[in-house]
Amino acid sequence: MIILPAIDIIDGNVVRLLRGDYDKMTVYGNSPIERAKAFYAEGAKDLHVVDLDGAKDGSARNYGVIEDIAKFGGLSIEVGGGIRDRETVENYINAGVSRVILGTAAIENPDFAAEMISAFKEKIAVGVDIKDGFAATKGWTELSDKSCLDLCLEFQSMGAETVICTDISKDGAQSGTNLELYRELQKTLNMNIIASGGVTTLADIKALSEIGVWGAIVGKALYTGSIKLSEAIAEGGGSDC
């Protein structure tokens, strides 16, 4: 199982939100590239980056910052947040990003999602973030009428190979991850499943690995010191992306 340390960006700063609430933000530095380099020095091979400004307003406001991270090299990077058109997808891929995550755009415009999956294959991942049982969009500020599993099955039928599923109620709360959700997805889907939200201890990582999910995103626990990245990678098995 791969371990993806997370860098969330607002106004060029490294931040963490509590349960996706933009009013409950903690700033952990003003240089995402330096944070990426620090993760690399600790043994990271993979990285999860989100433009939270973009996720909320549909822009690519932090593109330049993320491009710098991609140019650093040595890390397989997946990027999400505000990616709503083909030009942005192509810009990120041309910058060296390994996977572009479609969230709001994929949910609100399935035809666009299918087109991007067909065109860019494994370089497209879909992000399904759930709140109160339904998928959330626009930086987790709105709810759709579709469930997590229904959406995942829809994207799987389009040919999507990777899904990042976040339980928003767990995100940033350091209360443990939603193992029941990932067991259901792993049992039902034939996709690479990346778990996100609430990964707080090495026990969480061990449990996710035993379920068989492909990857786990670790965010706040790394910033607070609850988990050491090198230990998380070792517990996950240290597999390459």
Query: Do 197 and 170 contact (CB within 8 A), yes or no?
Result: yes
Regarding pTM above 0.95, the answer is no
What is the extent of the structural domain holding 150?
A: 2-236
d(CA 69, CA 145): 35
Residue 13 resides in a domain: yes
In this predicted structure, the answer to whether residue 20 has a pLDDT above a threshold of 60 is: yes
CATH of the domain at 186: 3.20.20.70
Residue 24 confidence (pLDDT): 80
pLDDT greater than 80 at residue 176: no
Higher-confidence residue: 158 or 240? 158
Number of domains in the chain: 1
Strand 13-18 to 2-10 pairing: antiparallel
Task: List the catalytic residues.
Answer: 8, 129
Statement: residue 173 has pLDDT above 70: no
Which amino acid, residue 195?
A
pLDDT at 224: 92
Q: Is residue 241 part of a domain?
A: no
Q: What is the pLDDT of residue 97?
A: 97
138-149 confidence digits (pLDDT tens): 655 666 667 888
Q: Which sign, positive or negative, has the C-alpha torsion 191, 62, 230, 182? A: negative
From the number of C-beta atoms within 10 Å of its C-beta (0-12, 13-18, 19+), residue 185 rates as: buried
For 189-209, write each residue's pLDDT tens digit: 999 999 998 899 999 999 999
Could you tell me the CA-to-CA distances from 128 to 64, 133, 221, 234, 239 in Å, in that order?
25, 11, 21, 27, 23
53-101 pLDDT, tens digit each: 988 888 888 999 999 999 998 999 999 998 999 999 999 999 999 999 9
Q: What are phi and psi of 50, to 5 degrees?
A: -130, 130
Rounded CA-CA distance 91/89 in Å is 6
99-117 pLDDT, tens digit each = 999 988 888 899 999 999 9
State the average pLDDT for the chain.
Answer: 89
C-alpha span between 93 and 165 (Å, rounded): 22
Better pLDDT: 168 or 209: 209
Q: Residue ranges of the alpha helices (H) in the chain?
A: 32-41, 52-57, 63-72, 86-95, 104-108, 110-120, 148-158, 179-188, 202-211, 220-224, 229-236
Instruction: Give the integer Cα–Cα distance in Å for 45 and 166.
Output: 21
pLDDT number for residue 170: 55
pLDDT at 198: 85
Q: How far apart are CA 127 and CA 83, in angstroms?
A: 11
Say what the pLDDT of residue 241 is: 42
Is 91 among the domain residues?
Answer: yes
* Residue 222, SS3 per DSSP: helix
